[in-house]
A and B are shown apart, each in its own frame.
Chain A
């Protein structure tokens, strides 16, 4: 069976190699702290395997995670000087390689989709799935990236095997600590749950609905999903809370709504919130960093005018079709 942990180790090794490169990069004014950031991150990815298997204490990783946050707060990791081709060289290369340049980029989605849609269902001789169940997409992305890299190297023949690593570091240094913000937010969700934040929010929303008004209850559920998603950065975290507070007791039990419609559209109302929040870093902040935007809220600003009318659509659809 192909295990997802292998790919976490691949990520870990990548981060550690980056750390070593950064340590040797005299052009980076913050090279020690930056190398520490990437190095700790890389080791955490490997150590995480043992935490998930419960063979190593998790508080050690907890200290490492807080260490990463402190390093990020102190302005690490920083950027070194970019060592890549000049725009003039790139034009020349583009003339030489032409549309073949797209080939590696297209390998990634095609192979990843193949894994997600087809190999995910393949079973080995002894009945176990070929890919660790629930992780086909991640495994597919990992394999696809390696294959694309092989295609890219064969096609473009960079002068040294370290070139892709340097180029990967160039992009990673642009992203900086934002690369692991999504992971931090997922961690925060876990802590919020363990501390009872969800229950407390449920008690507050209890006092907000005028008794007996269907449209008010529908709006409360949908807007509550969106607002709580904006705060938590994740509709999955908001769904159990708002459903326990409003969706189930009011909309399904009291107003006799169709459960499938109420819950499906409730979740989509939460997605409208995801479009508006920096807390959903992997969807909103990481793209801004990847595209090297000056304004890290640029994608959110492009999305809010879509999210608001769409939330209205959700309220209307639920009101007219669920009851």
Chain B
């Protein structure tokens, strides 16, 4: 039971906003020590874990080309393009992206989006461009809101789309674990089909919130303008 202290280390560390790398390392060491692992075994676990999870860091290979096209005006071009589409508000754009992201993930094309591949170079500049057309130069509050929602459209679309595709990690984990542990023979396609109702709920809930974002941005912009006037007086 004392090993649960390691979870407490994580919770307290994040709550105190300590450096996340240190918190995670400390929690790992605490768990290992209470769990009765020798120091060498703990070091081995750190090494093995790090080596076998290198795949999650591979996104960095996209950075040079994204940096390069940003240098030559990618974001400006995205804004220019979007300023021609007068129907495209920030919320509508992000809602369309949510639909595309979820649909393609459901077909197994999970690598089509992602924060490094799509949100930073394409989706966020377009969303920010649409807002700029409407409000002029964006105050920081609006910028932050748009960034947060741009990232969220990508993540929600991915999570509740990918599970509809049969050969995805989470489904293989379910069938693999359950079949091995309880002697069942589950079909991956059944698990995938039962992801559809939740997928539809996710699309409706987050899509509605993205469309509502336009109204929120209107309010924020109005407040920011009022504040600016106050300070001028």
Query: How many Å lie between the Cα of A271 and that of B136 in the bound state?
Result: 37
The residue on A at minimum CB distance from B147 is: A291
User: Closest CB-CB distance, B24 to chain A, in whole Å?
Assistant: 5
Q: Which of B3, B155, B194 contacts A299 (CB 8 A)?
A: B155
Q: CB distance A163 to B58 under 8 Å?
A: no
Chain B, residues 37-50, CB within 8 Å of chain A (1/0): the string is 10011111111111
Given contacts A59-B40, A92-B73, A195-B32, 19 further A-B contacts (CB under 8 A): A14-B60, A48-B51, A72-B19, A73-B22, A89-B73, A93-B76, A97-B73, A105-B65, A108-B117, A113-B111, A137-B110, A156-B72, A194-B41, A244-B181, A260-B194, A268-B163, A287-B115, A298-B145, A321-B197
* Nearest CB on B from A223, distance (A): 15
Are A248's CB and B47's CB within 8 A?
no
Q: Are B28 and A191 interface neighbours, CB within 8 A?
A: yes
Contact, CB under 8 Å: A259 / B178: yes
Which residues between 167 and 210 of chain B lie within 8 Å of chain A, taking CB atoms? 169-171, 173-174, 177-178, 181-182, 184, 186-187, 190-192, 194-195, 197-198, 201-202, 205-206, 209
A105 to B64, CA, bound (A): 11
Which segment of B7-15, B85-93, B222-230 sits at the interface?
A: B7-15
Query: In the complex, what distance in Å separates the CA atom of A123 from the CA atom of B190?
Result: 28
1/0 per residue, CB under 8 A from A, across B120-155: the answer is 111010000000000000001000110111111011
- Measured CB to CB, the nearest residue on chain A to B72 is A93
Closest to A228 in B: B7
Chain B residues near A7 (CB-CB < 8 A):
58, 61
Known: A265-B198, A268-B195. A183 touches B22 (CB 8 A): no
Interface string of A157-194 (1 = CB under 8 A from B): 01000011111111110000111111111111111101
- Check if A62 sits within 8 Å of B77, measured CB to CB: no
Contact A183 B57 (CB under 8 A): yes
* A84 & B71 in contact (Cβ 8 Å cutoff): yes
Query: What are the residues of chain A within 8 A of B41 when measuring CB–CB?
Result: 194
Known: A7-B58, A113-B109, A291-B120. A52 touches B72 (CB 8 A): no
CB-contact partner of A231 in B7, B57, B184, under 8 A: B7
User: How close is B1's CB to chain A, nearest CB, in angstroms?
Assistant: 6
Main secondary structure of the interface of B (DSSP, over half): helix
Restricting to A258-297, which residues have a CB under 8 Å from any CB of B? Answer: 259-261, 263-265, 267-268, 271, 274-275, 278-279, 281-288, 290-291, 293-295
Give Cα A187–Cα B54 distance, bound, in whole angstroms.
Answer: 10
Report which of A69, A98, A149 forms a contact with B65, defined as CB distance below 8 A.
A149
What is the bound-complex CA distance between A282 and B169, given in angstroms?
16
Query: Do residues B57 and A85 form an inter-chain contact, with CB atoms below 8 A?
Result: no
Interface assignment of A19: CB less than 8 Å from any CB of chain B: no
A125 interface residue (CB < 8 Å to B): no
Residue of B25, B74, B78, B117 near A109 (CB, 8 A) is B117
Given that A271-B160, A291-B147, A310-B205 are known contacts, is A263 also in contact with B186, CB under 8 Å in the complex?
yes
Known: A91-B76, A231-B7, A275-B156. A259 touches B65 (CB 8 A): no
Q: Judging by beta carbons under 8 Å apart, are A69 and B80 in contact? A: no
Q: Which residue numbers of B lie inside 8 Å of A, CB to CB?
A: 1, 3-4, 6-7, 10-11, 14, 19-22, 24-25, 27-28, 31-32, 34-37, 40-78, 80-81, 104, 107-113, 115-122, 124, 140, 144-145, 147-152, 154-156, 159-160, 163, 169-171, 173-174, 177-178, 181-182, 184, 186-187, 190-192, 194-195, 197-198, 201-202, 205-206, 209
Q: How large is the interface on A (under 10, 10 to 19, 20 to 34, 35 or more residues)?
A: 35 or more
Question: Is A196 within 8 A of B3, CB to CB?
Answer: yes
Contacts of A87 in B (CB 8 A): 76
Q: How far does the alpha carbon of A191 sit from the alpha carbon of B3 in the complex, in Å?
A: 11
Q: Is A116 an interface position by the 8 A CB rule?
A: yes
Q: Provide the residues of chain A in CB contact with B169, threshold 8 Å.
A: 236
Please determine whether B55 and A4 come into contact, CB atoms closer than 8 angstroms. Answer: yes
- Interface flag for A314 (CB, 8 Å): yes
Q: Give min CB distance, B148 to chain A, whole Å.
A: 4
Contact B21 A291 (CB under 8 A): no
Query: Is A152 positioned at the interface, with any CB of B under 8 Å from its CB?
Result: yes
Partner of A138, one of B55, B69, B156: B55
* Complex interface residues of chain A between 119 and 152 (CB less than 8 A to chain B): 135, 137-138, 140-142, 144-146, 148-149, 152
Q: Are B154 and A287 in contact (CB under 8 A)?
A: yes
Q: Contact partner of B67 among A72, A168, A263, A279, CB < 8 A?
A: A168
Task: Please provide the 9 A-B residue pairs with the shortest distance between their CB atoms, ordered closest to farther.
Answer: A195-B35, A167-B67, A187-B49, A94-B73, A58-B47, A62-B43, A61-B47, A168-B64, A48-B51
Q: Is the CB of A287 within 8 A of B151?
A: yes
Q: What residues on A are CB-neighbors of B60 within 8 Å?
A: 11, 14-15, 168, 172, 179
Of A11, A188, A203, the most chain B CB neighbours within 10 A belong to A188
- A271→B170 CA distance, assembly (Å): 10
Chain B neighbourhood of A180, CB < 8 A: 21, 57
